[in-house]
Amino acid sequence: MTQGTALFDLTGKRALVTGSSQGIGYALAKGLKEAGAEVILNGRNAEKLAKAAVDLDTPHTLVFDATDHDAVRKTVDDFEAATGAIDILVNNAGMQHRTELENFPADAFETLLQTNIASVFHVGQAVARHMINRKAGKIINIASVQTALARPGIAPYTATKGAVGNLTKGMATDWAKHGLQCNAIAPGYFDTPLNAALVADPEFTTWLEKRTPAGRWGNVDELVGACIFLSSAASSFVNGHTLYVDGGITASL
């Protein structure tokens, strides 16, 4: 192994990926494992999580709701005590709800806040407490192209992803002095279960292909390199940064 490739080697590291039974979370867990990390899968559906664990050949699954502060804290503390350190955290759990803002249901707004931003706080804090004691750790929050841009019908989602970007800056500001690197990945439009309705809409796909300089939907595997970089020694002085992986959509009008 050359010095350059060694910078990206995750052998001996353990990574927790929330919301990792499918979609982006599953792809990132698979990529981290292929880079040498021991992965811990998380989700609320034990059956789906068990299947993902078999597919990825990992013994570690943590079934908890990332919006439940007490459950998150207890599960993380128990895992650290029984199994060992969580060196890398990928806060991926998230959801979408599409409705014009003037008719957006208040309960859906609250659910978005809890799932997309409160979960980042809950899991980030629970894991960071242990990382701080070890003076080392990597936290990667999954933001969105909507961290910087907005589209009709998803204003509350846009608000939550803007908050993820700023919470990432706050994490870096508070925790860099303890040896943690806290950054975010902001995906553009990717073919995932969360975007299934849009992928199935020919009109939207045509718009997206024209709007995105790369001219297409992203494939989830194209997020893996960014995640490995931010999880590895290669990003040892990168902190509070949001890395857009979006085919150029935020770069052009």
Q: Bridge partners of 186?
A: 244
Q: Which of 26, 157, 189, 244 is catalytic?
A: 157
157 is catalytic: yes
Residue 88 near residue 137 (C-beta atoms within 8 A): yes
Point out the residues that are catalytic.
Answer: 157
